[in-house]
Structure 1
Amino acid sequence: MKRLLAALLCTALPAPGATADRPAGIAAAEAIAKAALGENCDMNGMEEVPMAGPEAEGFAHSVYRFSYKPAYDPDGEDVQAELYLLFCGSGAYNIRNAVVLKTSNDDTPKLIAFAMPDVDYSYTDDNRNRLKAEPTVRGFRATPLLVNAGFDEKSRTINSHTAWRGIGDAWDSGEWTFRSGDFVLIRFEFDPTYGDPLPDVPESYVVYEAGR
C-alpha cells in the first residue's frame, strides 16, 4: 500500500537541472504549444511567461512531476512524468491553457488533446433562459485548449471552467483524470441558460459522467 501511495503522489518541484524560476524543459513545452496552436497560444505577447506564484493570477506556467505504473507493464519500473500547464493567452474574463506532457519512456514531449462532448440543445425563445428539452450528447470532439484550467496533484485531475460571458451565469466545466499516460474525460457539466435562474429550470446539466 505504501508503495502504491508513493507512486501516486505528485509534487510541484522543479525538474532536475532547473532553476527555481525557470524549470528545465519549459522552453521546449512552450515551443510545442506555440507551433501547434499559433495565435491561439501567443501567450499575450510576453517574451517570458513567469512561473506560477501567489501574484501570477493565472498568467503563468506551472510544472508538476509525478510517477505512474504503465498499463502495459504494471510490475515494471515507474514512468516519470513532467506535466506543463501552460498559459496560452487571455480574453476579457477567461484564460486559455495548453498542457504538454513529457515522460521518461518518450523522448519527445507531446501536446495533450482533451475529449469534449458535443452537446445538442436549443432555447425556447430569444431570452435563452430555458431549454426546449434536456440537452443530449451527439458525439465527442478533441480540443488542445482548455479554459481557466487547473491541476489537482492528489487526484491527478485537470479541471476547466469556461465563463460564457463576464458575469458567469452561463458556463461549462470539465474534468479529466490521468490514467496510464493519458487524460480521460470523467465529467462534463454546463449551464447554458442566461440571466437569473428560473425556479423550474435546473441550475446546470451533467451531460457526461464516468466512473473514477
Structure 2
Amino acid sequence: MKILLAALLCAALPATSFAADRPEGIEAAETLVKTAFGTDCDMNGMEEVPMAEPDGENYGHSVYRFSYKPDYNPDGEPVEAVLYQLFCGSGAYNIRHAFVLKKSDEETLKLVAFATPDLDYAYADEEMSRLKADPKVRGFRATGLLVNAGFDEKTRTITSHAAWRGIGDAWDSGEWLFRNGDFILTRFEVDPTYGDPDPAAESYVVYEAGK
C-alpha cells in the first residue's frame, strides 16, 4: 500500500524538465545554429544537449556573460553580451562548436563567423612529411564552426585546435579576440606535415595581428 501511495504521489508531482535548468536564450541559439548548419550541427542526435562541465571535455553547451564599452562610444553605458558556445557534434578525436552572440544594444542573436586563412602550400615528398616552402596566405575565408574550441573569459579570446588525424601530427589552431562587438582573428598556426612524433616539429605561424 505504501509503495502504491508513493507511486501515485510521484505521478501527481510536476515533472522536472531538464530545459528548466538551461540558461535563458539557449533554445533560440540552438535553433539558429541548426538552421544555419543543418547536418553539420546535428548535436550528435541529442534532443537536449547538456551544459558542459567546467573542467569537462566540451561535450555540451556553455554560456558566458560579460560587458564592454565599444570604442565608438567609450562614455556610454556598457554593452551587456551573452556568448553561447554550442556543441554541434563530435567525431573520433574532434569536437565541433558554433558560437552565437547576443548584445544588449541589438535585438537579435548573431551567429559568429570566424576569419581563417586560405593557404597555398605543396609537399616535398609522397609521405607529406615536408613542405617545399613555407605556406603562403592567398586570402581569407569565414567559417561558423570551430574544432576543439574554447573561450578564455579573462582575455575574451576564442581558441581552436583541429587535429587533421587522430595522432595529431598535422593540425591547425587559431585565436580570435573580442573587440568592439566582434571576434577578430589575431593568430593562426598550422602544421600540415605528417609522420613526425613531435606535433610542433614543423609548424608555421601564417598570420599574427600586427605582423
- Interval containing the TM-score (normalised by the shorter chain): 0.7 to 0.9
Other-structure match for 1:121: 121
**What is the deviation of 1:71?**
2.3
**What is the deviation of 1:203?**
2.5
Larger Rg: 2
- Which segments of 5 or more consecutive residues in structure 1 lack a partner in the other structure? 1-18
Instruction: Kindly indicate whether residue 208 of structure 2 is the aligned counterpart of residue 205 of structure 1.
Output: no
User: Which structure has more RCO (C-alpha within 8 Å, separation ≥ 6)?
Assistant: 1
Report if the CA contact (8 A) 1:129-1:197 is conserved: no
Other-structure match for 2:171: 171
Instruction: Kindly indicate whether residue 156 of structure 2 is the aligned counterpart of residue 151 of structure 1.
Output: no
Other-structure match for 2:182: 182
Identity of aligned residues (%): 72
Supply the AA of the counterpart residue of 1:149: A
Find the aligned partners of 1:57 and 1:207 in 2 and give their Cα distance: 28
Change (3 A) 1:110 1:93: same
Structure 1 length normalisation: TM-score? Answer: 0.86
Other-structure match for 1:192: 192
**What is the deviation of 1:55?**
7.5
Q: Counterparts in 2 of 1:77-92, with a 5 A limit? A: 77-92=77-92
Change (3 A) 1:180 1:54: closer
Find the aligned partners of 1:54 and 1:113 in 2 and give their Cα distance: 24
Supply the AA of the counterpart residue of 1:204: S
Other-structure match for 1:135: 135
Q: Report Cα offsets for 1:144-187 as digits up to 9, x if no partner.
A: 00000000000000000000000000000000000010000000
Q: Report Cα offsets for 1:5-32 as digits up to 9, x if no partner.
A: xxxxxxxxxxxxxx88310000010000
Report if the CA contact (8 A) 1:197-1:203 is conserved: no
- Which segments of 5 or more consecutive residues in structure 2 lack a partner in the other structure? 1-18
**What is the deviation of 1:87?**
0.3
Supply the AA of the counterpart residue of 1:49: V
Point out 4+ residue stretches in structure 1 off by more than 6 angstroms: none
Find the aligned partners of 1:139 and 1:188 in 2 and give their Cα distance: 13
Q: How many residues align?
A: 192
Partner of 2:29: helix, strand, or coil? helix
**What is the deviation of 1:56?**
4.8
Structure 2 length normalisation: TM-score? Answer: 0.87
Find the aligned partners of 1:121 and 1:150 in 2 and give their Cα distance: 28
Partner of 1:177: helix, strand, or coil? strand
Report if the CA contact (8 A) 1:50-1:56 is conserved: no
Partner of 2:151: helix, strand, or coil? strand
Q: Counterparts in 2 of 1:57-96, with a 5 A limit? A: 57-96=57-96
Find the aligned partners of 1:69 and 1:55 in 2 and give their Cα distance: 30
Change (3 A) 1:52 1:202: closer
Partner of 1:159: helix, strand, or coil? strand
